Structure 1
Amino acid sequence: MPDDLDDIRAELDAAEHVAAAEALPHLRAAAERLSGLIDESMAQAVLSEGASIRSAGASAGLSENAVGPRLARTRSLGAYANADGRVTATGVQRAQYDHENGEARVADDRKPLRFKPRRNT
């Protein structure tokens, strides 16, 4: 986590004294890293600290419905996502059980889908 925060700070520093157009890629990179850090922190709160999906989402300023898909993108809970791409209370219970027994599954690194324009115009 400290490395993530350092990377975010570096992107924000790079965006600080440049023109708006030049700052946008740095701000986007910082936003993506911060979003990933929020997701991983919610996953750890749910997995290791006993927080509910609802309370973790509320602490992050998200609705309960927004948390499941975000948890599914995390390394620690992604392997417990259902077919709809969401981590539910059942998946969290299984992850906690596996974690306690030292058999936790680890999700592969997947990048979130991003919009790609068809053409440059």
Structure 2
Amino acid sequence: MIAPSVSTAAVSRALQTADGLPPAEALPHLRVAAEELTALLDGCLAAAVLEPGTSLRSVAARAGLSENAVGPRLARTPALAAYANDAGRVTAGGVERARYDLEKGTPPPAPPTTPLRFKPRRPHG
């Protein structure tokens, strides 16, 4: 099983720090808690879809998400980022490949690198 890289303790610490602070001072701590919780949820989604007998749909339902919302979240995880397609989503096919690689002990493929492209700030004219 692949353990998420973020623990509930990190979320709890951020919330405890925010507790009792004036709203303006609590905001940065609440933002940290939200980011940590999102990373924890994404990591758990990835671990769950890699378990035999699960599907993107069943994992999405358990998390209260639509099936379409799970693919991009999986693509942000270390466990499944290498299996994302060009649109930045992990599909059922990517999950099956990841399960196969995990079962065989094969390392995941290197994530595709996108070449940097120059984008001018202002149009020339």
**Taking structure 1 as the reference length, what is the TM-score of the superposition?**
0.82
Deviation at residue 49 of structure 1 after TM alignment: 4.2
The equivalent of 2:23 in structure 1 is 20
State which of 64, 81, 85 in structure 1 corresponds to 2:88.
85
State which of 36, 39, 42 in structure 2 corresponds to 1:36.
39
1:1-121 pair list within 5 angstroms: 4-105=7-108
Higher helix share: 1
Percent identity (aligned)? 55
Aligned residues: 108
Query: Which segments of 5 or more consecutive residues in structure 1 lack a partner in the other structure?
Result: 109-121
Query: Which segments of 5 or more consecutive residues in structure 2 lack a partner in the other structure?
Result: 112-125
Q: Distance in 2 between matches of 1:94 and 1:52?
A: 13
Contact 2:101 2:108 in 1 (8 A): yes
RMSD: 1.8
**Taking structure 2 as the reference length, what is the TM-score of the superposition?**
0.80
Query: For the structure 1 residues 42 and 71, does the alpha-carbon distance in structure 2 shift closer, same or farther, using more than 3 Å as the test?
Result: same
Deviation at residue 103 of structure 1 after TM alignment: 1.1
Q: Distance in 2 between matches of 1:44 and 1:85?
A: 18
Q: Distance in 2 between matches of 1:2 and 1:71?
A: 14
State the secondary structure of the residue aligned to 1:76: coil
